[in-house]
Structure 1
């Protein structure tokens, strides 16, 4: 292992890029941020100052960053979803080790293309912020050049899910037969991100199941491994966040700051953004609205002029606010996923795993196991050693990625049973589920992938 810290460039210094970069502040011996590409001036300046980045390594556009050649060992790609494919395909030939935020891409075809780009790039480490344990693979592509692939997903890397997987793999209760999984998005979180925010429209982002729940589908696939998903069905719609649901008391108001119903409205932008800032809360979600740290003046201006101040019933959103997905696996097991906006909990996933001889019930922080044979019931509280969101998975992800680069193909990092095909599969299940929702029919996952590849001439 090298004694030098791994050098890292960040393309997109928003919420996710900043979160991953913060790992270096607590672990300067492991990694150092040396370059950034970020179009927003104040956000860029704050980031440059915090990480003491040389002026020659500061860019306003990711294309200028690429044109400068390889500037670091690694790159964290946390741009908007629709740019993932372009940026990955540009970084891979330069030999960057890559951590790309989820989803892999916004179309099934691009997921395949981005995988091929990595396979053809030579010896690089690739990670997707979509959640996995430390699984590394040295495999051969069609050109007989090996590459090191690290498939990390945020949910899989939490101490909570690692503990659950250990129990599943121990087979103490037998093999899992059914899983019921709920992703409670949170009523104001959904309004922030999927009604007013960056993921509100399919044309500028993608459908909600992909942008919000691709890692939920992935963790279900991980729980059932080595069984694979074979059939999927899905139902859902945009039921509430539409003009027909607007309270009559709101009248013709299109912005919260001018709305007579604002104090009674659960989705008041003044309640969600301005009032917390007045009380000194300068973090999420208010910090997403401004270029640089938020204050009363900048938040007020954003609510007066930008999308975050619009009435949720007058916004241009078109993604579903609730959806269910049903999956059948190759061993006959089944799973259901419910994504719903209308919850107090914010992404505190709730899961029930049913076995022949036991049950696991968890909430992403703690879980309970019940042994039907002995009657024993045990409360489990896995320790969160590092911060970040997703139950500690974010920091686990960046740590594993950095260590993979630092130690390269160290055998202690090798794990069982995963590869780029598995990364693609969990994404393709999401696209198949959305096809089912739109067309009202059960989708055969294998046929879906074969048809897709045939259309691409593969």
Structure 2
């Protein structure tokens, strides 16, 4: 096999998916892995034929081996993104870095500066930039189809079961272990809005809180674990219902079930729910991230935007409406409906096929069964395009295949930190070019604010 040599730090869902795509396409070679979980590390090494001397228990050990690859995929937990990114940049490795790029603005800047100093490419995994839908929407706006954009509405319906899985019971439930919900889940969306609108907001405000997944909302008689709970059958957040329904579906066994157990049998699932964190009552966990949030934005052009993230919806593709002076466009991640104010006509574009029709109805999110939780929208396809782009950029030495660099990602991350400070302080935060909005993700974060 030829092509750039790629190492993987963090062999979880994302790291494994990127590696699998690279290996399957044959454009690159997976030559090393660093993973703390012994079982996951062994499975990854066996799948890709990684020899023992290139199999490491952590990114530090892999970095100590020197420059053993042309590029590194960093898919460790959020709090361990900056350290490996800086270390591998120093070794001269090109970097594909999972979002968020760091858990503080200071560390994010250090990552960008390390990559620039070393002269290596840095791509943050803002995969929403890589879909045909996004390209079609940007082209449509640039062509003036809706005139000058004046306002935008963007919704991320996380899904009740997805929120319970990842942000109440799962790895991203606590800010001190990962980060705020707006960063760990929705920095994708803020980055996407910056990308689509073509400008970084000048002012942001935000409201949101943890409203529902709290001890005081626990149903009467509920137990600490779903398997012991007399009201489990009527609870929308039943772990037993959710995870047993994944059995037999190969995609759902990869996610979300693999986070719970690698034993894909009924006994294996029940054992994990009895002993592990995913069997806990959602009202009896140690979670503290918000379950709903809005971000209000004002762009330098005068355009305004609002982003809404909510746990309390069916898991569905993101939904967007952009309103311009000559028309409007509505999208659902696959389909765009363009209304022309001059003719009153409606044009519907299927962005994955290129098909165009006139009249008809606007996009709408497909209905989802609560017993059949789907993967996250078009995420899988975009992950694959990004993996291809990363290997191509290394092979050719041309970063144009990557849709954003470190500076662009830092700019959209700064909007998230500003919004979090605005939410906590009850202020509007003004973003000034090149100046920190906040030194950390925590309540003591400071910024340029005005009442």
Q: For this structure pair, what is the TM-score category when the shorter chain's length is used for normalisation?
A: 0.7 to 0.9
Alpha-carbon offset, residue 295 of structure 1: 3.2
Q: 2:77 aligns with which of 72, 80, 83?
A: 80
Deviations 1:243-278 (A, max 9, x none): 11111142xx10011000111111111011134227
Alpha-carbon offset, residue 297 of structure 1: 3.4
Query: Does 1:404 find its partner at 2:390?
Result: no
Alpha-carbon offset, residue 125 of structure 1: 1.6
SS at match of 1:232: strand
Deviations 1:295-322 (A, max 9, x none): 3333222211211110000000000000
Equivalence for 1:432:
418
Q: Aligned partners of 2:113 and 2:438: how far apart in 1?
A: 15
Alpha-carbon offset, residue 222 of structure 1: 1.3
Q: 2:254 aligns with which of 269, 280, 283?
A: 283
Aligned ranges for residues 13-24 of structure 1 at < 5 Å?
Answer: 13-24=11-22
SS at match of 1:446: coil
Structure 2: gaps (5+ residues): 355-375, 440-444, 447-451
Alpha-carbon offset, residue 413 of structure 1: 4.6
Q: Aligned partners of 2:125 and 2:9: how far apart in 1?
A: 14
Equivalence for 2:29:
32
Equivalence for 1:242:
214
TM-score by length of 2: 0.88
Aligned ranges for residues 280-319 of structure 1 at < 5 Å?
Answer: 282-290=253-261, 292=262, 294-319=264-289
SS at match of 2:95: strand
Q: 1:189 aligns with which of 162, 166, 171?
A: 162
Q: Aligned partners of 2:83 and 2:264: how far apart in 1?
A: 31
TM-score by length of 1: 0.87
SS at match of 2:96: strand
Q: Aligned partners of 2:393 and 2:377: how far apart in 1?
A: 20
SS at match of 1:338: strand
Query: Does 1:383 find its partner at 2:352?
Result: yes
Deviations 1:372-431 (A, max 9, x none): 11222111112279x994272211111111110011037x7598xx65433211101100
Equivalence for 2:201:
229
Q: Aligned partners of 2:397 and 2:2: how far apart in 1?
A: 13
Alpha-carbon offset, residue 79 of structure 1: 0.3
Query: Does 1:341 find its partner at 2:311?
Result: yes
Deviations 1:285-344 (A, max 9, x none): 111123x45333332222112111100000000000000000000010011000000111
Bigger drift between 418-427 and 200-209 goes to 418-427
Q: Aligned partners of 2:249 and 2:413: how far apart in 1?
A: 41
Contact 2:148 2:326 in 1 (8 A): no
Query: Does 1:255 find its partner at 2:241?
Result: no
Q: Aligned partners of 1:114 and 1:69: how far apart in 2?
A: 19
SS at match of 1:330: coil
Contact 1:282 1:293 in 2 (8 A): no
Q: 2:296 aligns with which of 323, 326, 351?
A: 326
Contact 2:244 2:269 in 1 (8 A): yes
SS at match of 1:182: strand
Q: 1:267 aligns with which of 226, 231, 237?
A: 237
Equivalence for 1:149:
none
Equivalence for 1:168:
141
Q: Count residues in correspondence.
A: 419
After superposition, the Cα gap between the structure-2 partners of 1:296 and 1:42, relative to the gap in structure 1 and judged at 3 Å, is farther
Q: Aligned partners of 1:279 and 1:100: how far apart in 2?
A: 29
Contact 2:200 2:299 in 1 (8 A): yes
Equivalence for 1:135:
none
Q: Aligned partners of 1:66 and 1:299: how far apart in 2?
A: 36
Alpha-carbon offset, residue 452 of structure 1: 5.0
CA RMSD of aligned residues (A): 2.3
SS at match of 1:317: coil
Equivalence for 1:355:
324
Deviations 1:90-124 (A, max 9, x none): 111111111010011111221112111111122x1
